[in-house]
Each structure stands twice: as C-alpha cells, then as structure tokens.
Amino acid sequence: MLKQGVNKFFDSALQQLHEASQTLELDSGIVEFLKTPKRMVIVSVPVKRDNGEFNVFMGYRVQHNNARGPYKGGIRYHPEVTLEEVTALAMLMTWKCAVVDLPYGGAKGGVACNPKEMSREELEKLTRRYTSMIAEVIGPLVDIPAPDVYTDEQTMAWIMDTYSQLKGYQIPEVVTGKPVSVGGSYGRREATSRGVAITTREIARHLNIPLNRSRIAIQGYGNVGYYAAKILHEWGARIVAVSDSKGGILDERGLNPEAVMEHKKKTGSVINYNGAKTITNEELLELECDFLIPAALENQITEKNADRIKAKVIVEGANGPTTPEADKILYERKIAVVPDILSNAGGVTVSYLEWVQNLKRERWSLEEVNQKLEEKMVKAFADVVSYGKKYETNMRNAAMILAVDRVAEAVNLLGIWP
C-alpha cells in the first residue's frame, strides 16, 4: 500500500475517507480495507515513434474496490500521471459510483506521456499496447474503462477493438465512451457536463439563486467545460469567463460558448477572443460570480487562494480541484461547494447506461438517456442534501459519508473471504 505523505491528492482522498469513517463509527478493519486498493497494475508501454526511435512509457491500472459491482473508471494520458494520482482517482471513483447509486466499484488508469507531442499513429500504438498489457485484468463484467484527461471516443474505440481482437469476437461492453457508430451511447460525450449543469441548477434552486440571472466562470475549456458552458447558456445563465491551459477570457456581457470554441479550434486557445479581456487562470478563480466551475485539473483551489474566492457557489467539474485545507476556509466563509463525486458523476452515469445498452444489444434515444441521467443526478443530489441535514455537515462531507456508508454496507454484507 502506498504511504501517506507521498502525494497531496492521494493524502486528500485518504483524509476524506478517514473523516467519513469517523462520523459513521466504522470498524477500524473495514476502514483499512476501504483504504487499500484491491489491485495495482504497473506496465511498461514501448512505442516505436514515427521517426523510428523507441520510447517506453509507464502505464497504470488501479482497481480500488468492487464490493458493489465491476470496477469502473477512466484512462488518462498526461505527462504527470503517477501511481499515487491514479490510486487516489480510483478511490474517488468508488465513492462517485456509490453516491449516484450505480452497481460499480472504482478504478482508474493512466499512461505517463504527452499526447500533445504524439501523432495519431503513435497514440494508436500506445493505446493498443497498453490495452494488451492490462487485458487480463479488464473485461465487461470485471473492469470497464472510459475516457478521461486527453483520451476520447477514438481512444475507447481502439481499446474495444484491441480487446475484442484478443478475445476473438466483438465486445463493445468492455469499454464506455465509444463512438455511437461502434456501440457508444447518445449523450455520452456531454454527459459529465450535463451532470455538472444539473447539479448547478439543483444547488441554485436549493439556495434560491435564479439560474437565468446568474454569472458563471468556468476554469478549463475542454470537453467538460465547453459542454457545461453550452448547456448552462441554453438554460439562461450568463457565462462571463472561461479559460484553458494558456489563459482565460472575461466578458461581463456574457460569452457565446460555441463561438468561443470555434475561436479555440482556430487559434489553439480561448485567449484573444474578440471583445473579451484576457485574464489568467488564477484571476478567473478569484472573479466575483455566482457559480465557479473548476473543470481543469486537481488542486486548483488551495489554502493559498481560498480566502480570495468570491463565488457564491463552487461546482466541481474536475476531479479533486479543491484541497481539504481550502474546503475548511470556504466553509468558514459560507461558500457552498458541490463536490466532484456528485457534480461530475454524469459521465460515469451515462457510461453505466451505455454499458447496459451494450449488454442488452439495445440502442436508446438521446431523450431517454438524458431523462435517465436527470433522474439519477437529481436523486443523488437530494440524497446528499438529506445526509448533510442528518449529520449537520457540508455537501462534500455528506457525499463522502453517503458513499462510504453504502460501500461499507456492501463489504459487511458480503464478508471478507476467506
């Protein structure tokens, strides 16, 4: 087992588990069981580059807990992927699936590489090799991967094909987030964002903030940030600022999300968008607004900037964007935080719906998928609010207590064998 103190994000995940376990008065043995991943796989992924050179990348797949069902979790390609980060994310996936009451456990995977410096052919080689290396520990009733940072529908199609070729027949249910034409679900591409939008709407109702008069700032303008902006804009909210890795833009009159995305596709960034003021990512986080949606990477809101946050509500689009130290400061300042294990669970929810469609060999309409997603997210939000009232705590603690309670109950009912 990894030691605490190695990675701040990993430490945060363990701290959240510890606090929820204390509230629930769980047996220390169960807590130790929940802390420890069931399986951690490390593989080397050699790739012959377009110039003929060989590079070896490190790949990981961590399976945290499967008491409530098969492992579920994304695969990310990023230069800073580490075993500690993947382990923390796998644990968070266990809690996320439990919060939304999906019959899944948690897993996560990743390859330490820079996909921005790799060609399509190199990424295909990397994906297929990585898939072949973890093929023995994944499967449609064992562990079902999905897209994450810098992976997408095409990546999932390669994983599905590689796994299917190894098994000798087509197995679409081995992975979710695929293109619709090879078994993907309608609505999956924007599912995480729709979940973020739904929870933003629900917290707005809960706090009596009129969504159609609200000002929203979004850090991160990839898939999650863009579609969240688009949906919330359609619902009447004013998107005043967005950003990507190169910087951000601010326009108090409101931005057109689709026009901003067209600009980003042409120029490579949202910055220098016509009529908008260029700002930094740090400045975006500290803007005065109704809703701040951090949809980039983890540890963006820390003890160093939490006292300068001016948003009324933070809705986490990314995984772990707020540190525990920052959480305490925000709570003291009465800034509500909708935690990642609830707010960005739309992606895994529609992944579940895609998996069910694949298992049944059915195809559901976009309307049916969105309706089922809506029902799941609204119910999960209400459950978290209920636990918050019961334990007199904030939404993050309430979500963790709810999730850990459900997983611990499953572990206790199944028993630990032998």
* Residue 223 C-alpha from the chain's centroid: 11
390 is in an annotated binding site: no
pLDDT digits (tens, 9 = 90+) for 64-111: 999 999 999 999 999 999 999 999 999 999 999 999 999 999 999 999
Query: Of 379, 199, 183, 359, which Cα lies nearest the Cα of 293?
Result: 199
192 is in an annotated binding site: yes
Residue for token digits 């790949």?
59
The amino acid occupying position 58 is: M
Least confident range from 120-134, 233-247, 316-330: namely 316-330
pLDDT digits (tens, 9 = 90+) for 354-374: 999 999 999 999 999 999 999
151 is in an annotated binding site: no
What are the phi and psi torsion angles at 197 (to 5°)?
Answer: -65, -45
pLDDT digits (tens, 9 = 90+) for 174-191: 999 999 999 999 999 899
Rounded Cα distance, 161 and 301, in Å: 39
Domain 37-170 bears CATH identifier 3.40.50.10860: yes
- CATH code at 191-343: 3.40.50.720
351 is in an annotated binding site: yes
Residues involved in catalysis:
108
Could you state, in order of their start, the residue ranges of all structural domains in the chain? Answer: 37-170, 191-343
Domains 37-170 and 191-343 share a fold: yes
72 is in an annotated binding site: yes
